[in-house]
Amino acid sequence: MKTKSPPKNNKTNFKRSESVWAEENGDTAKTLPEKKKKKLLDSKTWERDGRLVETAMKLREALGERLFEDHNIFREQVDIALNNFGMKVSASDLKLILKAVSWRVETAPPVIAKVHKSGKTKANPMYGMYEAVVDGKPAIVEYEADTDLRDTEQAPLLEEGGIEAFIRREVLPYTPDAWIKKDSAKIGYEISFTRHFYKPQPLRTLEEIRADILAIEKEAEGLLDDLLKGGA
């Protein structure tokens, strides 16, 4: 089993947005899960959110309302701004901020997740290792996968040419930017219980079906006669 994930394409800007809290079905606290309620009432949650808002406002002040067509450039500018402010932001918090101001656009450049030096790592698009030019130098890059487009495929164990041949034939013609996530590959067996153990019931003969239809028609005629007599 293999997981294939086309790269993510993002556009980003820091335009002001408004959040609307809509309460449905009366008191929302009644339907709020206990775990979320506990987290919501925790002072650490509010402290973290306060830091996120402060960081986001600082970044907006530095970057303005410019629209970044390339998410990679946007992240570089964010890192530069944070260094200039002397602010240290955890990876999880930074991810929340970036996600809040970004959205997927099919025509935007793929988002680079990791850069490898050319020569030390070989390009292998089948497994998500692509040749690219980064900062004017040749490199091998890995792109961030778009989780909304992630899918799995089941390849026969005795597939000629292995999983790679299967992906080339069944996947790449329709999704040319897909790749195999190697660490998610699993080899196993599937037993079809329906195929091996299900015993279908024999179909009724045409004579039996015809007899049932005639009996139902006769019963319906009798009911109709009773209704007409009763109405008279």
pLDDT score, position 232: 56
Residue 7 resides in a domain = yes
pLDDT score, position 2: 37
pLDDT score, position 20: 43
pLDDT score, position 189: 79
Residue 209 resides in a domain = no
Question: How many domains does the structure of the chain reveal?
Answer: 1
Residue 123 resides in a domain = yes
Residue 109 resides in a domain = yes
Residue 93 resides in a domain = yes
* Residue-level pLDDT, tens digit, the chain, 232 residues: 334 455 666 655 555 444 444 444 555 445 778 888 888 888 888 888 888 899 999 999 899 888 898 999 999 999 999 999 898 888 888 989 888 888 888 888 899 999 998 888 899 999 999 999 888 889 999 999 888 888 888 888 888 988 899 999 999 999 998 999 888 888 887 788 888 888 888 899 999 999 999 999 888 887 777 777 765 5
Residue 8 resides in a domain = yes
Residue numbers of the domain that contains 134: 2-15+39-184
**3-state SS string over 84-122?**
HHCCCCCHHHHHHHHHHCEEECCCCCECEEEEEEECCEC
Residue 195 resides in a domain = no
Sheet bearing 2-4, strands edge to edge:
151-153, 2-4, 180-181
Residue 202 resides in a domain = no
Indicate the pTM of the whole model.
Answer: 0.61
Give the amino acid at 116. H
CA nearest to 141, candidates 133, 130, 156, 154:
130
